[in-house]
Amino acid sequence: MTPEQIKKKILSYHWEPWLKRPFFGFIVSTFCGGNTKEAFKKIGLPGWEFDTLLSDGEWYQSKNNFQHAKPAVLKWLKTHSITEITGPLEKLQAVWKTVIAEFSKNPGKDTQKKLKRLDEILREITTYVWATHVAEHFFSQILKTQVTKIAKGDVNKFIGDAAFPSKLNAAEQMVEEYKNGVSPKILAKKYGWMRARDGFADGYTENEIAKITEHAQSLSKHQHPIVPKALEKIVAEARELVYLRMLRMDCYFELMFLARPLLEAAAKKYKIPFIELKFYSLKSLIKGKPKKYPANATWAAIGNKIYYLDHPLFDQSSLTNATEIKGNIAQMGYAKGEVKIVMSVKDIPKVKKGDILVTYMTSPNFLPAMKLASAFVTDEGGLTCHAAIVAREMKKPCVIGTKIATNVFKDGDLIEVNANEGTVKKIT
């Protein structure tokens, strides 16, 4: 197909901005393939497949995906538990760690064969990533309907507070180990991967680990609200789903980090600077024909077919003229301050006391910046997302799910966050 034919085919689907991630060719290439019918059948979720994927540095979504999966997902949710997804993933994670640890013993031997196995592992994890999105899309609607019938007061706050996971994610496990006397040096070795959420950044240093754990300890312990008996089952499912949301990407990036000796060996083999490897597709490395892709390349998967264009399809420049946006209220309040856009860990030092933290989505490694900021604004997120939970813990105004905040605002803009009404606007 010619570039114009590819473009026409991709644009025949209806797309909306969805998830902004600092991903390039390597990682995106592993996500294209984890969306197929065969991939979902392998993890025991037939009919859940994501028919279409589109990324150009930002992920877009098509309503076709959810409509196609709706019958199978709704039927599954009636008779199954989210633990049937988290349980197998946890077991596989342990197996995959062992496999990748073996790779690291002699990473320069059979490099391409090992890269092929790594590709298979990462693609299977991405199937769990897409499965979580599909499950959450439909489950959140069911949850809100049931809670609205029974719970009194602020339904959204109840859902957010009640759905806080019972299980500890990796960041929380790290904090617990720190409390129990484990040294930052040991923790940095075990959890340093949490800093490399683009797959190629450096891991955490001992000092950074110490700062994060100290900030985390200063947060008050989460208190679950009293859950009416009629809601106990669905709330337990909600907690497991929120846990799964963290588990799937923690699994992906921990394994990527553990595979670093193998990736460094591949970079050396092909005479590519390691940090540049993120622009190469994993498939091209396996084939022994490394191919570098532009940072703003368009990747699309339609069924089993993967398409590529060397430029983005959509022009986001029109958004820069907006002066006010709306989102969902995660924590009420009002704040005025200077914007600091945080897209990765390296941006965190920009945030000073009183600034407004604007990001695509927060994660535990954002805690030092969140302590300093006077309010949070995110592109993504629901009532159980990390930003919403921390905002309620810290009692800071928070507007989530704006979709376009990181496109509209830039560092230095003076804005007001009215989290009583869910609006964010520039002050002229």
Domain layout of the chain by residue ranges: 3-150+228-309, 165-221, 317-426
pLDDT of residue 320: 63
Residue 58 has a pLDDT of 86
Arithmetic mean of pLDDT over the chain: 92
213 pLDDT band, cuts 50/70/90, is confident
CB 187 within 8 A of CB 177: yes
| Predicted local confidence at residue 77, as pLDDT | 97
pLDDT tens-place string over residues 243-279? 999 999 999 999 999 999 999 999 999 999 999 999 9
Give the pLDDT confidence of 92-119 residue by residue, as tens digits. Answer: 999 999 999 999 889 999 999 999 999 9
Q: Positive or negative, the Cα torsion across 61, 65, 67, 73?
A: negative
User: In the structure encoding, which two tokens stand for residue 349, read together?
Assistant: 């030092």
Q: What is the pTM of this model?
A: 0.92
Average pLDDT over residues 67-74: 95
List pLDDT tens digits, range 113-153: 999 999 999 999 999 999 999 999 999 999 999 999 998 88
The tens digit of pLDDT for each residue in 349-403 reads 999 999 999 999 998 888 889 999 999 999 988 777 889 888 988 999 999 999 8
For the segment 76-82, the average pLDDT, to the nearest whole number, is 97
pLDDT of residue 291: 96
Nearest residue to 52 (alpha-carbon basis) of 330, 304, 353, 291:
304
| The pLDDT of residue 316 | 65
The per-residue pLDDT for 285 is 97
- CATH 3.90.1150.110 fits domain 317-426: no
Over residues 211-237, the mean pLDDT reads 89
Give DSSP secondary structure letters for 395-421.
T--EEE--SSHHHH--TT-EEEEETTT
User: What pLDDT sits at residue 314?
Assistant: 83
- Which secondary structure element, helix H or strand E, spans residue 390, and what is its range? helix 386-394
Summarize the confidence of residues 211-223 as an average pLDDT. 82
